[in-house]
Chain A
């Protein structure tokens, strides 16, 4: 299965390597680096590269390449999924996944990798199991550790009944028992020039933060589960009960986890919370163009739209821009030609507008196509599909937990063609 793992930063430096079988020379990465050179963007590097003796499967995430070396047939998704788990694990342990963090915690990352795979086959990938074997660093503990010289690995090995519920460790205790659920919905949409919806759908996810003592058995039910068209669950959810009763019944992992993701069956009848009026034009003669963008609220169900942001990849031939925004501020990076207009809250009375002139490089032809606008936004206290959590019941434990549900709608891949 997975033979080796290399972590590579965007400039091509290999800063961590781990081998689970015989050592593979890091020169194997040259094939990858070559492909990386060829690609315009880091995202364009092909995920699977075929070299004479090895297969290289890589992911690009958080500005890092995770490159694994494979020698024999294996489902590529198996490897890709695992690499993402590694990134998530680093994120989970150290708060973020970046080159500095990995370099700071080199030994611990190495130990974690050792635990995660045995002979290239995943052994422990559940965060709860890993945390029992190798404790994550906390500020308090690192202070104590430096003072007393103790370590992050417990003196007593966990009795580690890799139990029938691998995602939850035994003996969890909290003084405040709380369970929070965030229903987050994202709107993926493509709007065309005139503002008509070419394609739109809602993808949702229920994120949970459960801090409950003992072995609670939870049941979460929705007011309108029929809305959900396609779902995928954390392994803890009992699928049979969902099939028969449309309730989520589960023994939760401890801490943060993604309970389910879903797709809403709305047949293109997705409420689009904002409209965008835009005109980007380049004059045929002369190296000049104009940009005029206005954003306004549309179907917002009475809530305010916040965190609105417009991102535009301007054509490569743009030399400079001169714009004024009536609300918020814009930034422009001339290197990447990336224009970001951070609007903030939408005020229906006074619509934010960004306009001004674009100047092209002298002699450059008029761009063939206008750049499309990517919109970012969020609406608090609203699930745009109308999904509502009905109730949460707990069995198996005697205390009364505090329960909370939050709804939020965001823009996913929300694109306006111009």
Chain B
């Protein structure tokens, strides 16, 4: 019924059909204009519109497909927007997808109408299916409408803490889109980036680093803490992400490590052990480094990228190659050669880029590619640009040993039908001849032979090259000059003619008979020559006039007269200049005396060098390198720092001193301290560092601000924090005074939330300055921890990675604390020192990702033990918060200390050394899987919802039998709680018991359901993203209940 015509009329007359009228406005105007010319087009879209308004999905789908086909062909389909946008909420998934595709394309042009669809996406953002959430965010963020920036911001923030890594990946992409839409959001986006950088999922890593590169590539400080993680994840990241991460890490490494190139060969492969000593030495000796020690992190990067040379993705291979080229010690760069040569088998375009990179490399390091020289032989089927690149490389590789092989190969090329290529080969021969003096004569003779070639380009090129070669050693080659003079009549290429003329002039005294004759011929044909030839003729005339004026005086006069009236002003100018210079008259000044010395000055030989000579100013593998100009957005690779910035910034295990260092000291202290310590640590990069700390202070203050007001309105806090950060970054002085006052405030009322504020970032800046290398081992310990601290605030204030659950859930206190303690160190092996550990099941106060462990140390000897502390740990990356060194433990005394260990959600034992003043004991803490959780409280409803998202591979279940009296709530809760630190979820049904928790390190949800079946059977179901932990926990839960059940069956 609602054909377009009808609604068109409606719009004219009635108020009742406002909606319909609105929707058709664009079309109606179009219709008005397009009666004549565009009528067919109008008709077509008209029936599409009708189809879209039908209530059959198949018709709509058909219409959408046709519309998308129009878009794909580049035709304009924007007037259908109103009809299309109505279908955004369709139930049909394919239809919906097509509508999304359409929206993304046209929303920018139809902003007002696009807003109609926003609510649909907002709803979809809450969908249980991760793919729908992700695609909703994708489309929402792709709608480039400035009005919805706040909505996008909110959606991104939410998605950044989504359960699904796929959604988090999408949010990383959305960051870039929002940034390009509204660069003012930068500060907030950086916060999200910082959060996502901490993400441990390989899926997210590539995308977030991409966002980092686009939004804030200068915020290298955000990388420190994540550096090792990125290195370790790298192999498992998808290939595109690998490229981005490797490029970023190359840049990072150049700012953080010292050059491995200075004293090559001296460096120690296993520098890990010597790590601390070298550190100390460096600080003592300052710049005066005796031997180079590679930073273990530098080594880590090189080691972890090497396997990627075997990637099938050529972009990955080249990015690793450039990383090695820019970062590896010279003698290790060789490993990339084979892989690069392998890429030459790939597509033509790949070859092109790879050859360019090899060309740049081969100039500096011939040896790398020399064994593979034959791989660069040219085939007649190669494309022109490939051929010339191969020539370039062959020329660079030429040396005394292989030159004969290369020249033989070049001989084949010179004969090529591709004359451009043949000309290129001649130039290459010329370069070889100048570089390798042994073959200069051979080359020259070969080139002279080419002068009789039938092809003009070849001859011309030969002449030019010969000219250059002769210049380098002009004494003994008058034969060649004579030969060329003979050929002169037959050569038509201007460049070649000009070259010969120049040669004649330059060496006219060696060919006194021929030169005037050539000049005579030129005088005849002067008017018909090209400009470049004319110029050289004038030059030749001038030179001959000076050396042999008897024979050539008249000729010169004649040529100068011709030149005087030439059409080209360059030639007129030159003629005038020459005349004044050489022909003596009363006006000619002092210059005339020097004419001979000016014109016949010995000229330096031209250097024939590669066009790739200075390409290495660009990072290899980049677009800028390929086009040899700085592409927009190119990030300069910095030089190595003379002194390495502090390495400990990358230590992830450092923990903020809760008490000794008042929280706000971090802020004030930073700028001051870094200044004062400049001379010590940052003698060279002091200025840069200061800048960095300045900006970081602003970052800190903003994060602090927003975190302290996390519960309050999001909008408000963000605007405040940006204000705050503006202030502090513009005037660091002011900000420090501000925070001074704040410090007073906080010290007044310490047991408040603010006391735990120093975030990871704070720490990273605080520690390098505060702790000297020796101190690090002891760590910082809180002697008193604010007890009134609410756990909830802790989980919000601290940036915990994967804190998806944090927003949803509160962490509750443990339901049950097992008394059981385990032996850490037996008193026999510990020479009298005995240690036991237990899991107090309290959230760790040092860092939320850690599991707290209580260790009770007892001295069973009869003498006091001194200096009990924790020494080396294994895996070196183990994130552990040590206790303060115990100065002295009296005989028979015991003391309990607490420890935080980030087990990284695995049951791998944490190994470390417990040291006393005299001894060291290797000990290990082996956590049961149940201890890696923190209990969480949630409603039954939430529980079901979350469970719904964690099906399939994330679910593990088993059926067990249990005794009848154990089937009530209490014993079951008790039993589960004994095994695992989980919270009880209130349940409406009597036969189903639910427990919830999250893993300490990554915050992944763990949901346990015990469903009682008939008789004594029970079904245990565990849902968790951590597919390893699920079955482990199940295994732990099973035996616990089974034996009991069996016992009860006995008579």
Contact = CB atoms under 8 A, between A and B. Distances in A.
Given A55-B631, A157-B93, A161-B952, A109 B626 contact: no
Interface string B190-204: 000000000000110
A296 interface: no
B340 to A, nearest CB: 10
Contacts of A155: 93
Contacts of A372: 379-380
Contacts of B130: 160
B312 A258 contact: yes
B727 interface: no
B442 interface: no
Closest 5 CB pairs of A and B: A72-B633, A369-B415, A153-B94, A149-B58, A77-B315
A245 interface: no
B621 A77 contact: yes
B747 to A, nearest CB: 47
B473 interface: no
Contacts of A61: 347
Given A15-B73, A75-B622, A371 B203 contact: no
A359 interface: no
Given A78-B243, A121-B240, A190 B68 contact: no
B970 to A, nearest CB: 37
A1 B65 CA distance: 28
A30 interface: no
A155 B129 CA distance: 13
Given A71-B633, A232-B311, 13 more contacts: A50-B627, A75-B319, A77-B354, A77-B621, A81-B314, A106-B68, A119-B141, A121-B240, A149-B58, A151-B61, A157-B129, A163-B953, A243-B307
Interface in A101-138: 106-107, 109-111, 114, 118-119, 121-123, 125
Nearest to A198: B377
Contacts of B118: none
Interface in A173-226: 188, 190, 192, 198-199, 201, 203
A76 interface: yes
B1017 interface: no
B1046 interface: no
B455 interface: yes
Given A55-B631, A73-B631, A162-B165, A119 B73 contact: no
A43 B455 CA distance: 25
A367 B61 CA distance: 62
A371 B339 CA distance: 32
Say which size band chain A's interface belongs to.
35 or more
Interface stretch (B148-156, B172-180, B503-511, B570-578): B172-180
Interface string A58-74: 11110000000011111
A258 B353 CA distance: 23
B624 interface: yes
Given A19-B105, A157-B93, A417-B412, A77 B240 contact: no
Interface stretch (B326-334, B381-389, B936-944): B381-389
29 contacts: A1-B210, A17-B73, A44-B385, A61-B347, A70-B623, A73-B631, A73-B634, A75-B318, A78-B243, A80-B314, A80-B353, A107-B65, A119-B176, A122-B240, A153-B94, A153-B97, A157-B93, A158-B131, A161-B953, A198-B377, A234-B312, A239-B307, A243-B307, A263-B338, A316-B417, A368-B453, A371-B417, A372-B379, A415-B379
B200 to A, nearest CB: 12
Given A118-B173, A160-B166, A232-B312, A125 B74 contact: no
Contacts of B338: 229-230, 263
Nearest to B338: A230
A405 interface: no
Interface in B68-110: 68-69, 71-74, 93-94, 97-98, 101, 104-105, 108
A23 B106 CA distance: 9
Interface in B13-44: none
A288 to B, nearest CB: 18
Nearest to B307: A239
A365 B454 contact: yes
Given A59-B347, A106-B73, A111-B101, A230 B339 contact: yes
Contacts of A160: 130-131, 166
A315 interface: yes
A233 interface: yes
Contacts of A231: 310
Interface in B121-142: 129-132, 138, 141-142
B352 interface: yes
A118 B622 contact: no
Interface string A1-18: 100000000000011111
B627 to A, nearest CB: 5
B626 A48 contact: yes
A243 B317 CA distance: 17
B632 interface: yes
B348 interface: yes
Contact of A60 (B58, B319, B348): B348
B623 A74 contact: yes
Contacts of B58: 149
A46 B131 CA distance: 39
B385 A415 contact: no
A10 B698 CA distance: 55
B352 A47 contact: yes
A53 to B, nearest CB: 9
A361 B152 CA distance: 70
B384 A233 contact: no
Nearest to B69: A106
Nearest to B345: A203
B632 A367 contact: no
Contact of B631 (A72, A199, A243, A261): A72
B441 interface: no
B182 to A, nearest CB: 14
Contacts of A50: 627, 629
Contacts of B608: none
B94 A151 contact: yes
Contacts of B313: 81
B613 interface: no
A365 B247 CA distance: 54
A47 B353 CA distance: 9
B250 to A, nearest CB: 11
Contacts of A58: 349
B348 A73 contact: no
Nearest to A367: B417
Contacts of B417: 315-316, 367-369, 371
A36 interface: no
Contacts of B381: 374, 413, 415
Contacts of B176: 119, 121
Contacts of B68: 106-107, 110-111
Contacts of B97: 111, 153
